[in-house]
Structure 1
């Protein structure tokens, strides 16, 4: 692990500033100068001990390093036994490596240690030279003496020499790297027949009994999570702005200083009609999409009502609203769409334009040209901006006043009345809703959920733009939604299940015919439905069909072009498939990336060799965990 940290010096763990010193030199090797006294022994490694104090110190420092690198990590995750076992495992590894170094006669001189320390850039001054004052300040910041730090640094160097010795035996040959490259880079195509559940959905019937049974057996899927209603005071510039007075001269001065930036950008108000298609569609599907958009364009140019055409023909999410997109400016849409929209005159329809989403025609209802705004047009916005600036200066002072009153026993409403503020009661919110609505951290949201009813939290909570004080109004237990509210969703789910089952039945029947005694006749009968996929690799992400690891394994394992022995469920439906083509890894890519693949293969081999070596040391060592309870 130490060597990995060193080799990845640009990674996140090095960015913990001087915390990295703690992780590398203390977490890995422990506090070698720690006074153990009568401290309980957590583990023994041959004749060496690891004390509880040493483990806890390493654990706390490692946890702090992880928190610094990943602020979203939760206390529960850091208290996970697996994390604690990892910390202990590194302490054990360090003992084993140092023991092995002693057996092999591997050491590091004081001169080597000093030279290596001076090469650590976090001890350099601005001139790029080792600075003893910076070095001493860094050690003081982590409460380590030079002797202790240097002893741990020396241990790391010695262990690193053992690891380097082992790694040197793991070098990949070009032939081995090529085998890996060929395996990873190989792709296949499959011929397939798709049975789409959507084709069977109109045949499906769902009765009330089925809905009731589905609801009864799947109530966990229809649960409204536990919710709370809170009463809160918000201390943000936006919420406190109403308390600030803004004069006309202040507005005039603000406008004079910022008028150059107060512009209305060019905008259009438009609607569109979309026929969806993608590059992975077959030539026939793309031709059909173009045919549809051309027909819609002809009707629009002939004077047809665009909103009606969009509702009847558009395949985009705006179809229900007649294709309405509202006002938008430059940069809001993909480039091809933007160019067509802004080049089409007001009241006219653009020619069909192709984007990554498909074919569009665009009706431009209105336009706003770019222009500078007059003072009266922005007066209200300026007043709000000035008020928020003033309020920002009052947030801390007002929060302190509120806290003094809250701690003295006043209710949140009484605090609000005395300070001239307004306490607001929220609608019912789940824990995640507290995060989304207010910008609370997940940990703070959990705190709010745990407040007792009618009690207030005595500490301000950080929210978007400032802070809030919170009082619990109501706890609302988790409960299932009434069946009438989810009936349509249940009917839809059952319909999908039944349609998928019918599609699977059809696929199984097709496969049986294609592999049965009359396979030639069946192949002729289904020839029109056979399509060929785009190339895909062993990960099984098949363009236009979806992901299936099972399909990838079967296709890459196929010895010939017979139909594979089972149907495969994909996102688009159920398919029967056969291997169509094996596409070898690119020779050109190998020539370009050969050295990188050899390096990567060597790194993989080195890691495997080192892991095997450490496993061997562990198996040969006498390791005893005397206090496993400390890892729980």
Structure 2
């Protein structure tokens, strides 16, 4: 997983960590509230997480669920986190200190802080530095587990991409949707009675929503989705990024409308269309450069200094008209393009190494560079011409593939969590 992708997946969890205090009630350390396989969750841990959830809900302006509902929701999330961390350990996954430090560095930058100032800043919010580091490490570990067990198994076929693009081409106008949802998770192999009970609960939630009950509060009270404490909000998404079972209904819904009960592999869903807006579309162009070069490797010339001097001499001869660039490339270049007179064809941004691209971009058409070094050796470069190329279609195809992948990952992740939770031995102790 790339750093950018990982940071995106950690944003909400780390926001909670940054906002919320860590407090330990020493008198309750020995009271066990849940057993998860061979590990326990203590009352002090649960109380800490409940306090965190209360602070997060207050920061978001979300009405707080009842004490018993909040306790149950928080404990369920702690159980799911614990089984994920246990699964990561069983698979030999770990997070070294260097990776942890790099992630914290990026968190500090996002919050416009120096890492050295973070312990003091966190302490002012009641957050213990070592606990913060442990929480970040666990979030990275769970992200890696998800990548291995879910993300890596997702495939997108060219046909799926083409079908999505075709559907978008016939749509009246590109739109983005703000959706909030509630997931009532069904256990593996749920019985008809269990499903009927969930259906009745979903109907009751729909009734409360239509009567004006705060959706975010209901999500925080009842939803088994990972975004429950964020009010079930999926944030603004284009239709192709919305879960498939939601996307089928959304185009025909009005702002504020509540869906019927929907069923997926993870359980039952109810969602509300909070808002919608037209999505901005823009043409995407890149500048391409047609260039040629002569490459001399330092070892072939005897030394780096000799290679540079040799190329400088060749460049002087070409600029003075005493030699032809293509002919010099055929004779002197060590690159496979030598037979074509050093012609590299049309290059888009990112097609070459940064050192080469910077030197090439600094040239006007017809100009020849001084000798420049790259990981491949020493070059002289000539820019032949430039043009603007419309890559909107390529960009849309890339975005469509990514949207389909993210949609499938979201859906598969909830189902995988359900299976992981159902496979664990969990005992919830009475209050």
Report which structure shows greater RCO (CA 8 Å, sep ≥6).
Answer: 1
**Common fold, TM-score beyond 0.5?**
no
TM-score of the pair, normalised by structure 1: 0.30
Larger C-alpha radius of gyration, 1 or 2? 1
